[in-house]
Amino acid sequence: MKKRVLVWLSGWVDSAVTAHLLIKEGYEVCAWFMKNYISEEENCPTREDRDEAIKVAQFLGIKTFMIFDFREEYNKKVVEYIYEWYKSGITPNPDILCNSEIKFKLFLEKAMELWFDYIATWHYATILENNWLFELNKWIDSNKDQSYFLAGLNQYQLSKSLFPLWQLTKPEVRKIAENIWLPNAKRKDSQWICFVGKVDMHKFLEKKIPTKKGNIVDTSWHIVGEHNWAQYFTIGQRKWIQIGWWPALFVVKKDVIKNEIIVWTEGDLELYSDKLTASSLHWIWEKLTFPITWWAKIRYRQADQEVTINDLWDWRIEAKFREKQRAITSWQTIVVYIKNRLVASAIID
């Protein structure tokens, strides 16, 4: 019997090529579209994405197309968390949260309830089986590798997931789409908040977090300007700091209680550190023995950094980098690799 795969058709070209490749490989392919966020106030692409996904399913001859409404769950598990974290002065990572709570939890659970063998997404990463363990590896193109955003997955989720694009570069994906005349072959990629779309982050946050004027101060505590709310800023940020006659200024600290942000130039030593601690250690592969020198990154698209990891206690680690890192930010994720294999992640203290 053919293996049954439920493909998440997003309306974008990557997911369309994913479905096409699975059909070519002989899977019984069904498609679904996730309705997670709809807003009349913002440039929300949900309806347009749905229509594109339907066109793709019809073009590829996919007979079963389902639409699931996860708006309530998405609002509770992602949107409300974004608001609460910003209120607390924390800069969240919605893409990692969305993958862990929506795409590889709700989506996977629903697919298993419907007796599918696998789910399939267009993520640019690689899943390999090794002695009954499932490895999450980087994609062929390191510039667009998305393994960082998948760091919260576990062995069960990996065993039930397919990433058919893992051997293809982005130009090759586009070429396939054009060669088979997919209806969304030339649609530009989305670069916005997961399922929300192209929104102004300030306006998005102001719906739940009223603005409150505060001081911008330099590292000598001189007032140099004014901002609308300290929670909006993250360490290392330059955007929205408009102070005339000054060189480029960056956030080096922030004080949510005083509603102040502290800024200075790029070379400020307070913006750089070679050490961090992190909590909620998550092993995506088998647990390994500390201390050991591996590779890590503290943000998406950062080049791998050499790091020595030491075990602390209660699922906490200390990471000592060979070189100082710019703008280490609390509540972001540190992801650890052995060569190209993602082995662990933790939340930066």
Check which CATH number belongs to the domain holding 251 and give it. Answer: 2.30.30
**Does 283 map to a domain?**
no
**Does 214 map to a domain?**
yes
Least confident of 3-12, 186-195, 323-332: 186-195
**Whether residue 241 is found in the same domain as residue 116:** no
Segment 67-88 shows an average pLDDT of 86
Asked whether residue 198 carries a pLDDT value surpassing 60, the answer given is no
Which residue of the set 17, 194, 205, 296 is catalytic?
Answer: 194
**Does 231 map to a domain?**
yes
What pTM did the predictor assign? 0.88
**Whether residue 95 is found in the same domain as residue 29:** yes
Task: State the Cα angle at 57 between 77 and 48, rounded to 5°.
Answer: 55
**Does 334 map to a domain?**
no
**Whether residue 43 is found in the same domain as residue 169:** yes
**Does 137 map to a domain?**
no
Instruction: Kindly list the distances between the CA atom of residue 288 and the CA atoms of 234, 271, 284, 309, 341, in Å, as whole numbers in the listed order.
Output: 33, 32, 11, 11, 13
Q: How far apart are CA 80 and CA 74, in angstroms?
A: 9
Query: What HEC string does the chain produce?
Result: CCCEEEEECCCCHHHHHHHHHHHHCCCEEEEEEEECCCCCCCECCHHHHHHHHHHHHHHHCCCCEEEEECHHHHHHHHHHHHHHHHHCCCCCCHHHHHHHHHHHHHHHHHHHHCCCCEEECCCCCEEEEECCEEEEECCCCCCCCCHHHHCCCCHHHHHCEECCCCCCCHHHHHHHHHHCCCCCCCCCCCCCECCCEECCHHHHHHCCCCCCCEEEEECCCCEEEEECCHHHCCCCCCCCCCCCCCCCCEEEEEECCCCEEEEECCCCHHHEEEEEEEEEEEECCCCCCCCEEEEEECCCCCCCEEEEEEECCCCCEEEEEEEEEECCCCCCEEEEEECCEEEEEEEEC
**Whether residue 169 is found in the same domain as residue 98:** yes
**Whether residue 173 is found in the same domain as residue 256:** no
State the CB neighbour count (10 A cutoff) for residue 167: 11
- Domain count for the chain: 2
**Residue 98 annotated as catalytic:** yes
Q: What is the pLDDT of residue 303?
A: 93
Q: How far apart are CA 252 and CA 266, in angstroms?
A: 9
Q: Are 70 and 36 in contact (CB under 8 A)?
A: yes
**Residue 44 annotated as catalytic:** no
- Tokens matching residue 241: 């700091």
Least confident of 43-52, 185-194, 326-335: 185-194
Q: Which of 99, 233, 216, 205 is nearest to 157 (CA)?
A: 99
Least confident of 22-31, 72-81, 122-131: 72-81
User: pLDDT > 70: what percent of the chain?
Assistant: 95
Q: What is the pLDDT of residue 35?
A: 86
Return the CATH number at 116: 3.40.50.620
Residue 35 phi/psi, 5° resolution?
-100, 100
First to last CA, the chain: 49
Q: What is the pLDDT of residue 177?
A: 95
**Residue bearing the bigger pLDDT, 41 or 218:** 218
Query: What is the residue-averaged pLDDT of the chain?
Result: 89
Q: Are 152 and 96 in contact (CB under 8 A)?
A: yes
Task: State the Cα angle at 339 between 334 and 340, rounded to 5°.
Answer: 80
State the CB neighbour count (10 A cutoff) for residue 212: 11
Q: What is the pLDDT of residue 273?
A: 94
State the CB neighbour count (10 A cutoff) for residue 244: 5
**Whether residue 170 is found in the same domain as residue 217:** no
Q: How far apart are CA 316 and CA 348, in angstroms?
A: 10
Segment 56-77 shows an average pLDDT of 92
**Whether residue 169 is found in the same domain as residue 254:** no
Which residue of the set 19, 62, 98, 334 is catalytic?
Answer: 98
- Tokens matching residue 344: 């662990």
**Whether residue 34 is found in the same domain as residue 113:** yes
Q: How far apart are CA 37 and CA 331, in angstroms?
A: 24
What residue numbers bound the domain in which 174 lies?
A: 4-122+164-179
Q: How far apart are CA 260 and CA 346, in angstroms?
A: 28
Burial of 41 (C-beta count, 10 Å sphere; 0-12/13-18/19+): exposed
User: pLDDT > 90: what percent of the chain?
Assistant: 53
**Does 307 map to a domain?**
no
**Residue bearing the bigger pLDDT, 28 or 202:** 28
**Does 140 map to a domain?**
no
Digit-coded pLDDT (tens) for 81-123: 888 888 887 877 888 888 988 899 999 999 999 999 999 999 9
**Whether residue 13 is found in the same domain as residue 92:** yes
